[in-house]
Structures are given as C-alpha cells and as structure tokens.
Amino acid sequence: MPINPAPRTEARDSTAPATVVDPTLLEVPEGQHDVTVVQEIDGLSYIDPDDPAMPSYRVIANNRQPVALRDMMILPVRTGYVGQDRVKPDPELDPPSGADAVPEVDVTTVYLPVRDGVARCLVYRPQSKPAATDLRVILYAHGGGFTVGSAEDTDYITRRLAFDSGAVVVSANYRLAPEFPFPTPLDDVADVYQWLLEDAARIGGDTARIAVAGDSAGSNFAAALPIAARARGLAAPRAVLMFGAFVDFAQERWTSFQQQAPRGIVYDSAFFGFIRGAYLPTTPWTEPAASPIYADLTEYPPTFIATGTHDPVVDSAREFARLITERGGTVDGYWPEGMPHGFYFFPGVQQPEGDISFERAKAFLSAHL
C-alpha cells in the first residue's frame, strides 16, 4: 500500500499538444510499474525465516509496527514534511502555489524508463514557446533529504526555471531511502538523464542542450551527475544548477554546520544524521558519487550555486565552488547574507533574495545552455 502522500494538485497537470510530448509516455507501459511509488515494506521480509533470532523478531513485530526502526523514524517525517493536510493557523502565512505564482507553464506527467521500471516525471513547458520548437532541457531533482518529497513539492521552482529560461524542465521523481539507499536514487536520476540524451525530442527538448539542476538533496544529484555521466561514458551536462548546494556528507568538519545545524529549523544535526544513515548505510561518506566535493572536478561543467550564509552547508558549498574554479571550471556563486536553506522555495517570501537567485540562474543559463 502506498504510504507517501498523494501527489499535490499545485502542478495542475495539463494535456500538452501531441506534437510536444510523445503520447506513449503518458501512461505506465504494460508490464511495467512506477518504481518511485513508496510502498510499505515488512521489516521481517529482509530476514531469513530460518534465522535463529526470528522468534525474538516476531515478538518485536507483535509489539510495534513498523517493526524496523528506520521505517518507524521516517514515517512521521513523510506524513508531516510538507504539512499539506495541516490547517494553517495564519492564512496570511500560506504562500501562493506554484501554479498561482507562475501560471504560464504547461505541466504534463510522463513515465520515463529507469532500471526496474519507469519513473514518474513532470514536464514543464512555457506556453509562449511554439509546439514545433525543441527547447533547451533542464533535468531537475527535488529535495527532501533523500528520504521524502516529490516533484510536486518543487512546482514553483521548476515552473520558474521553465518560464524564466524558456526551457523544458523535466522534474524527476526517484526512489527514496531508506528503502532504496545509495546508489539507487542517483541511478534513477542518471537513467532519466541518459534517456534525455537520446530521446529528449519526444518531450519537445533538444538532446544537445541539457543542464541538470536540483535543490538540497536534489542538488547533490545534480552535482553528482557529471561524475555519473563520466563513469557511464556519456556526454556531460552543459551546466549544473544547485540551490542549497549539498556536496559533502562529512558536514561536521565545516564551521557553518557546527554553528548552525544543532538548532536548525529547516533541518538540523539530528535529521542530518538520520538521512546520512538512510542514504549511505554502508557507503563511505567520502564516496565521490555521494559527496561530489571529493570527486575529480577536472573539466567539470559550468556551475551555478545559490546558498545562503545561514544554511549549515554553506561552507562546503563555497569550497566546492573554489575547487571547481581551481581546476579551471566556471562558477557563478550567489551567497545571500542571512538566508536559510530553502530561501528560494516559497514564492514571494524571502525577497529580494529569492527572485535574485532565479534571475541569476536565468542569466547563467543564457550564457551556458
């Protein structure tokens, strides 16, 4: 039974012209399934029925559900993360939806192939662009600490990127930890990227002009995609955009994390420790595909980074920018004073910093995509 919240309505899915999106992508192919739908998993299913400890495990399962602590810990986060079903005590603090803030964008749900099945993705296309035109492409990965969230959550960001840059934005869902730890979520996003390199025309995109982008955990995937592309022998993305840039799982070594994470609001040290264990249960924290700051950044694509000075990851983000530049790469870094993690997330809330981040992203894409 699915346990993730139902897709939110802000995206306002619309039927784009058949000349833009291949109609065969609009449904899950027969015999396939959407791997990104979160399913309840019986913790005992991982245990051999003949395991000598099974009698104890059955007693524990009889006492609590979910039986696995990892499942117990993530359940309240997934149900309360966005707060979509919570009655807001102050309506004035409820920001406009993405569709209200940026209505001039068509949104279409498609199912793109990944290993083991398909991944549900949202395709954003500016209404002002002729249907016959293949546009630049931005592959976007949502945030959520590798464990929660969906493409609907970042509807404002992806609408804004599509409208501002005149690009097709493909907002990809991916499998979540702890059910699917590294490298599966990254592989899902990389599989969508590989499909775009070959078939972006089927959604009205230009296969030769693809950038990758993401916020928070999604920015980690965006940063890792050039590394994954190199490992797969694929062309690198033309550009990388990172909002709330997260590039290092060894965050405790950075002063900004030490000072700001223990009592953080958007996220804190306790949650960071959980998501690290969920996403990297057996992987070294310095694995380059998980922590791109440790990767060989030679010939790394032009990169845009927007991270506020009150974001605990800001020191590592600045160092990532420095390393790219040191190896001959190009970085446009925007470090707004006093801004927290996610300052770009809500339309009209953190101004002018939120708008400035999108204006700089637009200029960056004009120069590099």
Catalytic sites, residue numbers? 216, 311, 341
**Which residues are registered as beta bridge partners of 243?**
215, 306
Cα diameter, the chain: 65
Q: What are phi and psi of 167, to 5 degrees?
A: -115, 160
d(CA 322, CA 333): 10
Exposed e or buried b for every residue in 103-132, given b needs 16+ CB within 10 A?
eebbbbbbbbbbeebbbbbbbbbbeebeee
Residue with tokens 């807001």: 88
d(CA 90, CA 269): 29
Q: Of 363, 349, 229, 234, give the one whose Cα is nearest residue 304.
A: 363
Q: Of 235, 242, 257, 230, give the one whose Cα is nearest residue 314.
A: 257
∠ at Cα 342 (356, 136), nearest 5°?
Answer: 60
Q: Of 143, 138, 148, 157, give the one whose Cα is nearest residue 99.
A: 157
Q: Measuring CA to CA, how many Å separate 114 from each of 34, 142, 259? A: 9, 17, 40
Using CB atoms within 10 Å of the CB of residue 351, give its burial: 0 to 12 exposed, 13 to 18 middle, 19+ buried.
exposed
SS3 354: helix
Residues listed for the chain: 369
